[in-house]
Amino acid sequence: MRCIGLHSSQSHGGQWRNFAKGLPTGYTFEAPNLIGYGAEPSFSPAPNFRLRHELAALEADGMEPQQGPVVLVGHSFGGALALHWARRFPDAVKALILYEPVAFHVLPEGHVARTEITAVAEAMASMNAADACQHFVDYWNTPGYFAALPQGAQQLMVQQQAKVSADFDALLNEPASLTDYAKLPMPVHLFKGTKSPLSSRTVARLLAEAIPQAELTHVEAGHMGPLTDARRVTPLLLNALPV
């Protein structure tokens, strides 16, 4: 069975290393670096960047998203991309395993969770790259988290910040609704951190309520649980794989 891991913003395919080690016999695994992330990040800011552009880049790199069956495992931005992939090629996707897919576009206008994440996006847009990067990282972790990182990691993240802003634009403005996601025919295993921000927790709940074959699991972790609490989160994701 083909399995593909899609990472979060400000990360890379290597975040799935431990997950890949635990895959049962019969699975193959791929973990591509998404646009603008990885050892040699390169991204030219362009208006109206959307999830379809990310999927097209994977297709250009030989991922063949129309070929199945495939199990998609996604975290944060990667989870939202997996949902887009499944909507685009539903017959090719056998199952989705998603840790807090940040499909912010499903948050209703005026909802406190949408107001919260929109404020984050607007704040980043008003800052220089370094300050915007710190704001982003601290929001998903804890205040002071970015400042405590090694200087090399900080510098790489600042270089990648333009892609983070593009990711936010895509996530807030993707032309899809809960009604669209309710048409997904495959099993969708959703994981929500109990210590996560309101925005991502609310998205996970709304998707779980809308998708017919969705299952929601609460995890004692934050939004970055697949990285910061891998020993707890990784076995849960592996257990969700189709037998």
Q: What per-residue confidence (pLDDT) applies to 40?
A: 60
Geometric angle at alpha carbon 187, from 184 and 192, rounded to 5°: 100
The predicted pLDDT at position 2 comes to 95
Q: What is the pLDDT of residues 99-149, one digit of tens each?
A: 999 999 999 999 999 999 999 999 999 999 999 999 999 999 999 999 999
Percent of the chain at pLDDT above 90? Answer: 93
Q: How far lies 106's CA from each of 100, 186, 190, 206, 228, in Å?
A: 13, 19, 15, 8, 26
E-strand ranges in 126-166 read: none
Band of the pLDDT at 38, cuts 50, 70, 90?
Answer: confident
For the chain, the structural domain boundaries read 2-239
Distances from the Cα of 165 to the Cαs of 20, 73, 131, 205, in angstroms? 29, 23, 13, 24
Tens-place pLDDT, residues 155-196: 999 999 999 999 999 999 999 999 999 999 999 999 999 999
d(CA 81, CA 115): 22
Residue 222 has what pLDDT? 97
Distances (CA, A) of 115 to 135, 171, 178: 16, 14, 18
Q: What is the CATH number of domain 2-239?
A: 3.40.50.1820
The letter for the amino acid at 102 is V
Q: What is the mean pLDDT of residues 92-99?
A: 98
Question: Global pTM?
Answer: 0.96
User: Residue 41: which pLDDT band, with cuts at 50, 70 and 90?
Assistant: low
pLDDT tens digits for range 57-79: 999 988 899 988 999 999 999 99
Specify the pLDDT at position 243. Answer: 80
**77: which 2 tokens?**
């931005």
